[in-house]
């Protein structure tokens, strides 16, 4: 029986979207070197801020000539700007500082994961939101038209060239932005990315909302290279980075932990028909209705502890298998942030082997609040269009 040839291609380069490279692992071919070097310059300025061409040469390991050439090209393209000279005490000509032209282009981010609204924002290249819009969730027949209209309005709000449009959506999304399945919207095998690109005539990148969220946490939230982000809203999903690489899974459904059954003692009935799914314990509607039924503070504490324990049970094998160092929770802090997170940590520690006492997995709330998917959508565009993440 023939054995498949070893994979030498950039297998991870399209983890969520075209051209995505969070951590470049593959060998760089000569014909890709210029694009790679260009991304390296942008990436260095993105993370370290203004510096001279000599600094850039030292930081990137590229020659002064190559740097001068690339910087000239990036200035002409409007991605880099000269921003003045460095204060200098010594003799000689003061160095000219260059930086990412953070306001020279804009990114449009859309978050389709809300229960009642689609939200969108205009972002600068460093992920700051400068304009927002939201629209009520439309009926099933008007979904795409509503998304297009929202994106057009935001492009009009941008007042600068738009680098691209990033979209975080519920459902399983393949690496070409095709919605494999999104039951809430009735989408199956629907090429949302192409539909939006044709309507808007701009680069569009579409990914699952939790996968977008973990990118925001990685780029803007200081998450480590091995991190799982659990997103709790109307449903429950997660996004996973390992060694700085997004994990998509064999059928693009990595991280879909919402319908894993936790425990053998039954539990609430889930929208999918099973009982005791993680989502049935943990989703915002489920937590809210069980808290409303609780008669006193002790009963409410019990509801949160119970949900935290179920989360810990669901995550323990994941932590044990993958050795992620941090779990980030995204959702309403008043539900997730206190007893629920504490109990999840306790359960996780009881059910996994920590290398040493203080080395257990960390569980924390995101600091990105409700903007996490919008900012993750911006990272998709930065990564896809500029190679910056
Ligand atoms: Zn379920």
Average pLDDT over residues 51-62: 95
Distance from the alpha carbon of residue 211 to the mean position of ligand 1, in angstroms = 20
Q: Say if CB 170 and CB 211 are below 8 A apart.
A: no
Structure tokens at 135: 């629209």
pLDDT band at residue 91 using 50, 70 and 90 as cut-offs:
confident
- Give whole-number Cα distances, 158 to 79, 167, 205, 229, 281, in Å: 16, 17, 18, 30, 41
Distance from the alpha carbon of residue 44 to the mean position of ligand 1, in angstroms = 43
State which fold the 30-100 domain adopts. Arc Repressor Mutant, subunit A (1.10.10)
Q: Say if CB 348 and CB 319 are below 8 A apart.
A: yes
Give a three-class secondary structure readout of 141-158.
Answer: HHHHHHHHHHHHHHHHHC
* Residue-level pLDDT at 27: 59
Q: What percent of the chain is modeled with pLDDT above 70?
A: 90
Query: Which strand (E) or helix (H) includes residue 66?
Result: helix 64-76
Distance from the alpha carbon of residue 297 to the mean position of ligand 1, in angstroms = 28
Average pLDDT over residues 118-124: 97
Domain 106-215+372-386 top-level CATH class: alpha beta
Q: Which of 311, 327, 329, 330 is nearest to 360 (CA)?
A: 327
* Residue-level pLDDT at 10: 39
Q: What does DSSP say about strands 236-242 and 227-232: parallel, antiparallel, or unpaired? A: antiparallel
Identify any residues that bridge with 385 across adjacent strands, giving them in sequence order: none
Average pLDDT over residues 340-352: 93
Distance from the alpha carbon of residue 316 to the mean position of ligand 1, in angstroms = 19
Query: Which strand (E) or helix (H) includes residue 379?
Result: helix 372-381
Domains of the chain, by residue range, sit at 30-100, 106-215+372-386, 224-366
Domain 224-366 top-level CATH class: alpha beta
Distance from the alpha carbon of residue 310 to the mean position of ligand 1, in angstroms = 14
* Residue-level pLDDT at 63: 95
Residues with CB under 5 A from ligand 1 (ion): 259, 270, 272, 274, 277
Distance from the alpha carbon of residue 253 to the mean position of ligand 1, in angstroms = 15
Distance from the alpha carbon of residue 180 to the mean position of ligand 1, in angstroms = 18
* Residue-level pLDDT at 22: 56
Judged by DSSP in three states, 104 sits in coil
Distance from the alpha carbon of residue 275 to the mean position of ligand 1, in angstroms = 7
Distance from the alpha carbon of residue 305 to the mean position of ligand 1, in angstroms = 20
Same fold, 30-100 and 224-366: no
Structure tokens at 174: 């393949």
pLDDT band at residue 181 using 50, 70 and 90 as cut-offs:
very high
* Residue-level pLDDT at 90: 72
Report pLDDT digits (tens) over 253-297: 999 999 999 988 888 888 888 999 999 999 999 999 999 999 899
Report pLDDT digits (tens) over 32-47: 788 899 999 999 999 9
pTM for this one?
Answer: 0.88
* Residue-level pLDDT at 23: 52
Distance from the alpha carbon of residue 269 to the mean position of ligand 1, in angstroms = 8
pLDDT exceeds 70 at position 83: yes
CA distance 230 to 235: 11
Distance from the alpha carbon of residue 155 to the mean position of ligand 1, in angstroms = 37
* Residue-level pLDDT at 358: 63
Judged by DSSP in three states, 15 sits in coil
DSSP characters for 179-226? Answer: EEEEGGGTEEEEEHHHHHHHHH-S-EEEEEHHHHHHHHHHHTS---SS
* Residue-level pLDDT at 26: 54
């Amino acid at each position: 029986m023939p054995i498949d040839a070893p994979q030498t291609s950039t297998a991870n380069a399209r983890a969520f979207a075209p051209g995505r490279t969070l951590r470049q692992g593959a060998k760089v071919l000569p014909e890709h070197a210029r694009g790679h070097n260009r991304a390296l310059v942008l990436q260095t300025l993105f993370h370290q801020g203004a510096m001279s061409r000599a600094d850039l040469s030292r930081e990137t390991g590229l020659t002064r000539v190559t740097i001068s050439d690339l910087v000239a090209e990036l200035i002409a393209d409007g991605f880099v700007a000269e921003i003045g000279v460095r204060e200098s005490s010594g003799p000689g000509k003061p160095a000219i500082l260059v930086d990412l032209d953070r306001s020279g282009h804009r990114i449009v981010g859309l978050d389709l994961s809300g229960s009642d609204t689609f939200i969108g924002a205009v972002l600068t290249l460093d992920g700051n939101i400068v304009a927002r819009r939201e629209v009520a969730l439309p009926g099933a027949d008007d979904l795409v038209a509503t998304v297009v209209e929202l994106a057009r309005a935001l492009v009009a709000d941008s007042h600068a060239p738009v680098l691209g449009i990033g979209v975080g959506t519920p459902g399983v999304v393949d690496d070409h932005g095709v919605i494999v399945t999104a039951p809430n919207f009735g989408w199956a095998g629907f090429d949302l990315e192409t539909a939006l690109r044709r309507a808007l005539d701009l680069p569009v990148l579409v990914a699952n909302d939790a996968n977008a969220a973990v990118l925001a946490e990685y780029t803007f939230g200081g998450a480590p290279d091995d991190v799982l982000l659990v997103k709790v809203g109307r449903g429950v999903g997660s996004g996973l980075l390992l060694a700085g690489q997004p994990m998509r899974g064999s059928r693009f459904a990595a991280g879909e932990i919402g319908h894993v059954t936790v425990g053998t003692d039954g539990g609430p009935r889930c929208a999918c028909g099973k009982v005791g799914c993680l989502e049935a314990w943990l989703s915002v509607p489920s937590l809210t209705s069980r808290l409303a039924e609780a008669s006193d503070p002790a009963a409410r504490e019990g509801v949160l502890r119970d949900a935290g324990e179920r989360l810990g049970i669901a995550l323990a094998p994941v932590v044990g298998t993958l050795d992620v160092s941090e779990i980030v929770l995204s959702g309403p802090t008043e539900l997730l942030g206190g007893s629920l997170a504490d109990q999840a940590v306790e359960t996780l520690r009881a059910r996994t082997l920590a290398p040493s006492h203080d080395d257990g997995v960390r569980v924390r709330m995101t600091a990105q609040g409700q903007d996490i998917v919008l900012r993750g959508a911006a990272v998709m565009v930065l990564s896809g269009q500029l190679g910056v993440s």
